[in-house]
Amino acid sequence: MFIRVKKIKNQNYAYLVNSKYTEKGVRQKIVKYLGKVIELKKNEKKEIKKYSHLTPKQLIHELVLLELKNHGFKKNKDIFKLKKFIYNPKEHSFSSRNKNIVLKLNNEFMCQHTISHLLNFEYNGDEEQIGLALAKAVVSSGLTIPKEAFIYLFDKVYKDEKAKLY
């Protein structure tokens, strides 16, 4: 599955799409509407420094918060907010005026689907296949991650967790 963006009345909207091969060729089916796409520019370039005490899920959570802060989000009680855009860390949800949104960050898409997919990462295969799948999940969620932090995450997922994030 992948995210496809459609432009409707000069506004971009994101959809989760599944491709299926048929006798007539590849067919794509929309699985789910994800929300209006909001493109944000990075204001800061802070990187995560201390992570060796974190579990894989805690590290992902911290990376999401850092990425949002780098794009201008500020903590407001239990949520993070930028103008009318809200991120709820407990639900991993992104919204604006009570409607789901998708943030376009670093040329990729951060939304409830991509963050949940990353937090529930599970993959079978050899070391290289798992590493590539994990890298794809991280990058496609709009996150930037220092090499050392990715290696730490991969080691935890592959060696300690047997290719699962707990």
Q: What is the pLDDT of residues 5-14, one digit of tens each?
A: 999 999 999 9
Q: Name the CA radius of gyration of the chain, rounded.
A: 17
pLDDT, tens digit, for every residue of 90-142?
A: 999 999 999 999 999 999 999 999 999 999 998 888 889 999 999 999 999 99
Number of alpha helices (DSSP H) and beta strands (DSSP E) in the chain:
4, 9
98: left (phi over 0), alpha (psi -120 to 50) or beta: left
In a domain, 74, yes or no: yes
**Position 134 in a domain:** yes
Average pLDDT over residues 76-103: 96
**The total number of structural domains that make up the chain:** 1
As a whole number, the mean pLDDT across the chain is 92
CA distance 110 to 34: 10
Which of 62, 63, 13, 56 is CA-nearest to residue 38? 13
Structural domain that includes position 110: 38-160
Degrees to nearest 5, angle at CA 164 with 159 and 166: 105
- pLDDT reported for residue 124: 82
Q: Is residue 166 part of a domain?
A: no
